[in-house]
């Protein structure tokens, strides 16, 4: 029955397909803007919520909350994955962006530890958990929706826009931070200015909520809804697709860990290890992220020509080789240009993973468990390895063995490369069909 579902002709016209991609992308952008705003503003609000200890201790506590948010993502992925496979991709996207809006608004309005004591970090943790539930479900719904509406001939190219908008969300968070750094006195920025990005995120989420509520549902889901009664079953995923789920786990472990090293932790690394100022670190991070964003469609297009497996091999094999020398070079340089070039090199290699991440995982599963199959194993691995990346890196630094983290990263990338060698090319052997 799934073969019928997955090979059904797609009724999307070129215009409706573009509209669906743009609409799905906008939600992804706002979700990740809200998520990354926490990381971008950490240097400012860590002393507000965690005033005790030196800068490393404050960042370590803020990173622990960051990791807690990731711990909630598997739960959100499971619940929202079930919902997306039963109620529809669009319904899941709308619900997740609404939840993210609430989480951002709570963080924007919560007083600091000096005003309400221990309640401040407790509320921060609860808001971050709510955001984690939202984002955990959003990834699977977004990856599935964009892959299903993309069409088979350019599926890698169009699906790469999930990470284009994901990175654009982080760039927007950094851009807002840079603007505020330049128009507000440092004292005001530290005292209350860091709250503005969270308020902006909540407002943008309301706008996207309205946009996504008017998106067309994917044709593949509509067909499955009529022909497959048992959609979104957890036991179906576990019993019928264990190898595919483990493949997603293996790819995500190294892929998400190294992604967060270069896109999230690097801003702290540049100030806490390399010695750059907060403003310099923000500018370097923004520049490398811009290069990274532009590379996604190129690598997505290459995956349509050369295969997904070739791109994954480049990312994981290259990552295993360059992680140590790149982190060592960035950690010891005092040149912003040199730091930019080293980080950009590593991020370009990782584009082989990020550009095809959504489509590779979606192509592994049939329609009736696709959202759940993409979201749940991804969120579990992301929570264990991606969400803890900053904490592990700062822990290695706190014990005086920062290079240990470079080894840790290299090993995870090498394990991901082994997973790539063991899998078939999803572009040729996948279950997405010829829509």
**Which domain CATH number covers 109?**
1.20.1250.20
Residue 10 confidence (pLDDT): 45
The pair of structure tokens assigned to 228 is 């497959």
Quote the CA–CA distance of 255 and 419 in Å, as a whole number. Answer: 12
pLDDT higher than threshold 50 for residue 417: yes
Identify whether 321 is part of a domain: yes
Residue corresponding to tokens 């948010």: 69
Q: Per mean pLDDT, which range of 48-57, 69-78, 312-321, 394-403 is the poorest?
A: 48-57
Residue of 209, 362, 333 lying closest to 274 (CA atoms): 333
**94-148 tens-digit pLDDT:** 888 888 888 889 989 988 888 888 888 888 888 888 888 888 778 778 878 877 7
pLDDT higher than threshold 70 for residue 343: yes
Residue of 313, 362, 296, 312 lying closest to 160 (CA atoms): 296
- Under a CB-based contact definition with an 8 Å cutoff, are residues 62 and 49 in contact? yes
The pair of structure tokens assigned to 128 is 């971050």
Q: Which domain holds residue 105?
A: 2-423
Residue 420 confidence (pLDDT): 94
**First CA to last CA across the chain, in angstroms?**
16
Residue of 42, 64, 28 lying closest to 389 (CA atoms): 64
CA 186-192-198 angle, to 5 degrees, is 115
**Residue, of 45 and 134, whose pLDDT is higher:** 134
Which residues, including other chains, have CB under 8 Å from residue 374's CB and lie 6 or more apart? 81, 139, 140, 143, 144, 248, 358, 361, 362, 364, 365
Residue corresponding to tokens 């971008």: 40
Helices 242-260 and 389-398: crossing angle in degrees, nearest 10, is: 50
pLDDT higher than threshold 80 for residue 272: yes
Residues counted in the chain: 435
pLDDT higher than threshold 50 for residue 71: yes
CB count in 10 Å sphere of residue 57: 14
Residue of 136, 148, 143, 134 lying closest to 217 (CA atoms): 148
Quote the CA–CA distance of 252 and 247 in Å, as a whole number. Answer: 8
Mean pLDDT over 267-271 rounds to 88
Residue 8 confidence (pLDDT): 40
pLDDT higher than threshold 80 for residue 48: yes
Identify whether 429 is part of a domain: no
Identify whether 435 is part of a domain: no
Residue 297 confidence (pLDDT): 93
Residue corresponding to tokens 């950009």: 344
pLDDT higher than threshold 80 for residue 185: yes
The pair of structure tokens assigned to 174 is 């950094």
List b or e across 72-105, with b for residues whose CB sees 16 or more CB atoms inside 10 angstroms: bbbbbbbbbbbbbbbbbbbbbbbbbbbbbbebbb
**Residue, of 40 and 297, whose pLDDT is higher:** 297
pLDDT higher than threshold 90 for residue 312: yes
Mean pLDDT over 180-184 rounds to 89
Q: To the nearest whole number, what is the mean pLDDT of the chain?
A: 83
Residue of 156, 170, 102 lying closest to 132 (CA atoms): 102
Identify whether 430 is part of a domain: no
Residue 7 confidence (pLDDT): 41
Identify whether 433 is part of a domain: no
Residue corresponding to tokens 């997405």: 432
Residue 93 confidence (pLDDT): 86
Identify whether 176 is part of a domain: yes
Identify whether 67 is part of a domain: yes
Identify whether 106 is part of a domain: yes
Residue 2 confidence (pLDDT): 44
* Domains identified in the chain, total number: 1
Q: Per mean pLDDT, which range of 20-24, 130-134, 270-274 is the poorest?
A: 20-24
Residue 154 confidence (pLDDT): 78
Residue corresponding to tokens 């709510």: 130
Q: Per mean pLDDT, which range of 155-164, 197-206, 233-242, 335-344 is the poorest?
A: 233-242
**Residue, of 313 and 147, whose pLDDT is higher:** 313
Residue 311 confidence (pLDDT): 94
CB count in 10 Å sphere of residue 249: 18
pLDDT higher than threshold 90 for residue 329: yes
pLDDT interval class at 433 (50, 70, 90): low
């Amino acid at each position: 029955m799934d073969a019928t579902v997955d090979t059904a002709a797609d009724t999307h016209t070129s215009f409706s397909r573009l509209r669906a991609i743009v609409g799905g992308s906008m939600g992804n952008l706002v979700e990740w803007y809200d998520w990354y705003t926490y990381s971008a503003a950490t240097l400012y609000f860590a002393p507000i919520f965690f005033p005790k200890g030196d800068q490393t201790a404050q960042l370590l506590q803020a990173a622990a909350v960051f990791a807690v948010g990731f711990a909630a993502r598997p739960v959100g992925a499971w619940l929202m994955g079930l919902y997306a496979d039963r109620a529809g991709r669009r319904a899941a996207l709308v619900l997740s962006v609404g939840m993210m809006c609430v989480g951002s608004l709570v963080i924007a309005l919560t007083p600091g530890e000096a005003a309400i004591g221990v309640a401040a970090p407790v509320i921060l943790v609860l808001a971050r958990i709510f955001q984690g539930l939202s984002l955990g479900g959003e990834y699977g719904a977004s990856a599935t929706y964009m892959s299903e509406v993309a069409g088979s001939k350019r599926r890698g190219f169009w699906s790469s826009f999930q990470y284009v908008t994901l990175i654009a969300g982080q760039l927007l968070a950094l851009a807002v931070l840079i603007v505020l750094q330049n128009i507000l006195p440092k004292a005001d920025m530290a005292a209350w200015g860091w709250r503005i990005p969270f308020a902006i995120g909540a407002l943008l989420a309301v706008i996207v909520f309205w946009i996504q509520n008017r998106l067309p549902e994917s044709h593949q889901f509509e067909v499955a809804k009529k022909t497959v009664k048992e959609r979104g079953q957890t036991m179906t995923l576990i019993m019928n697709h264990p190898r595919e789920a483990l493949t997603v786990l293996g790819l995500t472990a190294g892929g998400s860990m190294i992604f967060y090293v270069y896109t999230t932790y690097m801003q702290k690394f540049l100030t806490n290890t390399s010695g750059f100022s907060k403003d310099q670190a923000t500018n370097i991070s923004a520049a490398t992220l811009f290069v990274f964003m532009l590379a996604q469609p190129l690598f997505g297009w290459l995956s349509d020509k050369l295969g997904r497996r070739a791109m994954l091999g480049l990312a994981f094999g290259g990552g295993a080789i360059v992680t140590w020398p790149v982190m060592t070079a960035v950690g010891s340089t005092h040149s912003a240009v040199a730091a930019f070039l080293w980080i950009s090199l590593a991020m370009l290699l990782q584009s082989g993973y990020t550009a095809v991440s959504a489509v590779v995982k979606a192509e592994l599963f049939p329609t009736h468990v696709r959202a759940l199959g993409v979201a749940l194993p991804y969120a579990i691995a992301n929570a264990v390895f991606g969400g803890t990346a900053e904490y592990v890196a700062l822990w290695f630094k706190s014990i005086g063995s920062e290079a240990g983290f470079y080894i840790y990263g290299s090993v995870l990338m090498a394990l991901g490369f082994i997973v790539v060698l063991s899998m078939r090319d999803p572009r040729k052997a996948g279950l997405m069909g010829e829509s």
